[in-house]
Each structure stands twice: as structure tokens, then as C-alpha cells.
Structure 1
Amino acid sequence: MSERVRGPVRVALLGYGTVGTEVARLLEEHATDFAARVGTSIELTGIAVRRPDRHPDVPAELLTADAASLVNDDVDVVVELIGGIEPARTLLLDALRAGKSVVTANKALLAEHGAELFAAADSSGADLYFEASVAGAIPLLRPLRESLAGDRITRVMGIVNGTTNFILSAMDSSGAGYSETLEEAARLGYAEADPTADVDGFDAASKAAILASLAFHTRVSAADVYREGIAEVTASDIAAAKTLDRTVKLLAICERVSDTENGESVAVRVHPVMLPRKHPLSSVDGAFNAVYVEADAAGELMFYGQGAGGSPTASAVLGDLIAVARNRVQGSRGSRESAYAALPVRPFAQTTTRYHISLDVADRAGVLAQVAAVFAAHEVSIAVVRQRGRAQDASLVVVTHSASDAALRATVDDVAKLDAVHQVVSVMRVEGGEP
């Protein structure tokens, strides 16, 4: 149990970028309301930045380049918004071990070192809150670990990266290719100068690890998440999805799975999928995020909203800050890590998926039979076949039923070796509904 605060709740802010600036502004602007909600005032005692001289609008006495000294000062809560692994990891461990509550938006740190941070919080009785680490302003993590604590969650599937969703939405609406759409996203401020973390799926994978850990009471790290980005998605893939009344989305998919051979386990993956347009996630356009949750008792739930940006993320940070400040005043603690299930993470090769496979083949009799024989040899069932002739060649599209990813990959590899197959044009996974 945290030590009861008798006076103002003293807060150290690490980082003063887009989100940090909004947090500080809103703390001042809504100070009276926040004090009423907490039971005492919240006092911002210091802000750690790299270059204090670059913030002339902030009172000089609040600024410091020495984040470690600020964390070790007489503060009750540390709000971390600097991102990355170090020095954030060391700073937060120092704070938690000293019994200071922590609020962070650092999904990469949580996905890689969450167990270490939770252990430090547990040993000292401090709170560790991180609502802003996934899906910005959307109230998502607290419902997963508190509101649904009495239910059994079976699946969490969502759009958790605004940059990739903006790019794929624009490709769907305009028919443009990936490269030109990425350039447009950068021009409009939706993509960073180096968009690697977003477009290669690293950001979404960190968030998927956090979601799976909460949903399935199992420690899942970013290294456990299978990851593919969107750089290989083409305008042809988007067009092919439209012929099936589908759209392409980069999804984080977290599932509780079981079978007689492997028992119960957790499967976590991030990759582009073809999704039916009637699915609720298909209508999520632009830079918005949405997460779809399936639970035994609650059924299907949808969380939707702005997943990034200064104000939305600051809203989530301040929600956590109010909660931990209230706990400090009352001498209580918030929810702890729940990893009792300790389910194994299923290798992606054993995860069942469906494929949409587009082939360029010779336009002659018997080609379809050859392709079908390869699928049969790997025990992969075909759901839909579409063939269209083009002079001496033909376009062949195969949509499969569910099979292990290992079997599907082996099938594609062997199909590519057929003399009649000129090229495997694209391979994309399919989620939801019938082909």
C-alpha cells in the first residue's frame, strides 16, 4: 500500500514534447477541477528536458536537464513521456523502488521490460499506470484489466497504429500505391520523418504485447509477437480485396487458442489482413484507432477513438495521473499485474490463418488441377478460386480455409515451383467471415 499523502500530490514530468506540453497545460488549466476529483491539489514540481534553454515559455525553476535528480527529489508521482528504453527504464525503476507512483505512455518499454517494472512496483507498493501506451485517448486498458476482470476474454483484435491506418485508408479510397501514399502521409504530418516503427509494425507489436498480457493474464513481450508491416501492400492487393468486398487493414490480433495437441495457449500477431467491409473495424478510417474485444459473458465490444496526438494522449495520461493521485491521498493501490495464467505463447507457424493468394499462371488446360494438387498435398482446403485469362497468361486467385501458417507457407513455396506458375504476385492473410 502506498504512503498516504497529506499535502499536495507532487508530480515530476519527464519530457516536454507534444504530449508533455499538453499535460502541463491541462494541469494548470483544470487545477481546481482536478483538486476536487483527487481530494487535494496536484503540483507540478519539475520538468526534465534535454535543453532547458529551448523552453523560454516555462518558468526556469521548473526546468532541469537532470532527470535522475528530479526523480529522486521529493515527489509522489513520476510521469514519463520521453519514450525509448533508456534512460526511461532506469528512471522508472528508481522511482518505483522508492515507492513513487509512475504514469507512462511508453509502450516499447512496457512491452520489453514490463515484468521488471511491475516487480519493482509490487515490492514497494507503488502504482504503475499506462493507459496512454495503447490507443491514445481510448479508454481500453483499464476496462481490460478492471471492468472485464470477471469475464474470460478470448480475442482482442484492433487497429492500433494511426499512421498505417491512414496510409491503407488512403490507398483504398484513391487507388494510389504505397510509396506515394506514404509521402502524402508525411506531408500531412501523419508519418514521421523515419516511419519505420509504424510502417514495419514495431509500434503495433509493442501494443499487441501489452493487450495480450492484460487480456490473457500472461506475460507477453514484443519478441513474442509475430510482425509484418505494410510496405509490401500494393494497389493490386487493395483492388483484389475490393473484389471480395473487403478492405486491407494492419491488425494486432491476440487470441486465446486451444487444441488437443498443444492445450491452451496465446497467439499474438501483427500483419495486414483482408477484412470484410461489414466488419466494424473496416469502417475505421484515417488516423483513428479501434479495438474489438470478444469475451465469454460480455460478448463483442468495440473501443474507438483518436489513437495519437498531443491532446488525446494527454487525456489518457491525466486520467492515470488522477487515479494514482487519488490512491496516494487515500493510501490505497490500483490494480496490480495479473500474470497468474502464465499461458505459453504459440509459435506463429502453428497459428491457423487463411490466405488470399494471387498467381500469374500459364493460360492452358490442367494448370488449376496442378495448383489444387499442391494444396491437397499440404492438406490446405481451398474455399474460393477465381481465374481470368490474359492473352497467353492468366490470373489465378485462391482463397483458403483455415490452416496452420506453416502449412500455408509450404503450400505457397511449392506452388511457386510449378512450371505453369510464372509468379506469386501477392500473399495476404484473410480474417473474418466467409470468402
Structure 2
Amino acid sequence: MTKTRLVRLWLVLGSVFMILLIIVYWDSVGAARFYLRTAWSRPRASEPRPSPGQQEGKEFASDVDEFLDKLLRASRKQSALSGRRVEQPSPLASSKPVLSAMEESVRGYDWSTRGAPQNPDPDGRQAKRRSVLREFCTNTSFMFPAKERSFDDIPNYELNHLIVDDRHGVIYCYVPKVACTNWKRIMIVLSESLLDQGAPYRDPLDIPREYVHNSSTHLTFNKFWRRYGRFSRHLMKIKLKKYTKFLFVRDPFVRLISAFRSKFELENEEFYRKFAVPMLRMYSNHTSLPASVSEAFSAGLKVSFTNFIQYLLDPHTEKLAPFNEHWRQAHRLCHPCQIDYDFVGKLETLDQDAAQLLQLLRVDKLLRFPPSYRNRTASSWEEDWFAQIPLAWRQQLYKLYEADFVLFGYPKPENLLRD
């Protein structure tokens, strides 16, 4: 009996050791060498050959469904031999100290994105923006909620804005009202996550808007847990180290004006029922409101910009639910103090930044960023829009969005914050 138990123990320990070796190998080297097919990626046989402007042989790991499946089968096989039943690969969690020690031996690996251009920041603009971010993320005198938490402390549902393209090694954090529709289109083309009559889209503008904002179209970090379980955070960190990460931001007050214009000045059934009706009841004393937005607009019942600011400043608002993504602070969507972004674009310099980013990603030969929307909300409109907002409210609103102003290098709007 004792001999049998020893044999089983050795088999279990052997399986654990093999799995840990596989994980560490994939973590340090394998992710840059294996291309694993998933529901979001097409077989390699159908991929176009790299153009002369692209790096030959540039391949990033796709999602590790196949890898994890093999790992799970190996674990079950070893456990079956030892007479034990295993439902899921548990060695990663149960042997965390051992794994951490083994990872120490591969820290010398170059995690940077391979094949980056020799001079990806010719005017030094990106260096300055990233420097400002790092400075205030490490400055203990500048604090805001959730600043000091680690990446592991971020709830899974707060990672839903991080879109992953495994084909080119890109992670994009989208901020609504900052050209995110067209950047999502770019990500769809790059990842080939959406097909048109059996073929992936090649022109971003060909992708219908309703598909662009459908969450099922994109692979986002918050979906990792459902697919990979306890492996999810580990895989996120690998991709964050290896992939090129970018986001685009905008003057926070101008972004609020843009959000108000698109969601409350235009007929939007969803936003009318979910947000406009409560605002009109609470801040305009309307007790009986039409059931549809078209009826409300016909009756002249619209949320005012003042109502919108009241809603944002009301302490009860976020007690009920977090801010909607269209007016939630950019740092709460993208976590720039926990994620070291390689590129920080701004809507104010969209054309230049978009061209520079596509060159950095080495995809400028494949596609171009769609032309900018002409009726864009301008910074010069701020004084007119805030003219009816009391000074005390403006000052409170600035405090609410101060972290976005500071982290992304936007000047404090002094003209709006004084008499």
C-alpha cells in the first residue's frame, strides 16, 4: 500500500512539474513563437504574406485555448494514472510560490514589442505625454480614488474597455467620445474578428456601426475569466508586457459636452429611458413623462445641460451605479497608473497621432485611419456651454474630473473656474 501511494505521489508531482515548465516556457518564449487558432483568428494558411514594410515573420501568440486544452488533458491523464479526478488545471494556483521562483529565471527575456520602428517618436510628443503620466502616477501628493491599487485589484468588469488584437500584438483601451468608433473599426480589421460574406473586412469604413459597438465583436480582457479561469490574470499580464498598448483621450469638459450632445440632444431611446427620464423627474420636477423619446421631444421635454451637470454632481448618482462609459473618467476606464501605455493619443491631434500610431504598429501599409468627423465638438465652445452653470458647480465638476486633466496633460480651465 505504501509503495502504491509513493508511486501516485511521484506521478502527481511529476505532472505538476511538467505543467509548470510548460507555463514558464510559454510565458518567456512560447508566446512569441506559437500562433494558436481561436474563434477570433483565422488559420495561418489564409493570412496574407507580410509586405516589404512589415517585419518578416512577425507573429504574436493568439489566445491560448489550444494550449490550455492540452495542459488540461495532460493534467487529467496524469491524475487518472494516480487514481484522482481533476476538473480543471489547478497547479498554477496551488503551486504559486514554486511558479514565482521559476519565473525569476526568465526575467532576462526582452518583453518589448519586436520590430518597433527605429524612431517611433520623432517629435518627442509621446515621450512627454508618457512622462507626465508616470510623474503623476508616482507623485504621492496627487491622489485620486483607486490610484494606488495594483492591476490585480482591478475588478474584472472594469477591464471591459481593453480590446486585444493577438494577430498584431495590440491592446487598445477605448474611451467613448474620443474617436472610439473608428479605432474599434481599425481593431476589427487588424484582428479579423468580423467577416463579411466569409472574408474579413479590409476597409474600416465598410464595417456597419451597429457591429462596431457590439461587445461580442471584440475580445476584451473582461472575457478572459470566462474562457481561462484562474489563468486569466496571468495571461493578461503576459499580453500587457509583450503587446503595444494605446489609448486616445480628450479635454474632459469638451468630452462631457460631446456626450451630452450625442445622447440627449438627439433622439436616443435607450438614454432617454435610462437617464433622461430620471433627470427630468429629479431636476426639472416633471412627474408625468412620455414613454418614448420621440413623444418627449415633440412635447419639448429635453434634458438641459444644467440638468446633466446636476446629475453628475449628485452624490446619489454613483451610489446607484457607476457613471455610464460616455461620461466616466478616462482614468477609470483605462487605468493608466496600473497599465504602462506605449502610446497616448489625443483627439486634439488625432490626424497626426493616428498616422504615427499606425506606423508604430507597422500596419500603415495595410490601412489608414478614417477621415475625422467634421462636426466635432470644439474646445472653444466651453465658455458658451458652461455660461449657465453656477461657478460652484464648475469647480466641483473640475474636482470630479481633475485626475483626467492632470494625468493627460490638459491645462486647468481657469477661465471657467473663477468669476
- Band the TM-score falls in, shorter-chain normalisation: under 0.3
Higher strand share: 1
TM-score (norm 2): 0.23
Higher relative contact order (CA 8 A, sep 6+): 2
TM-score (norm 1): 0.22
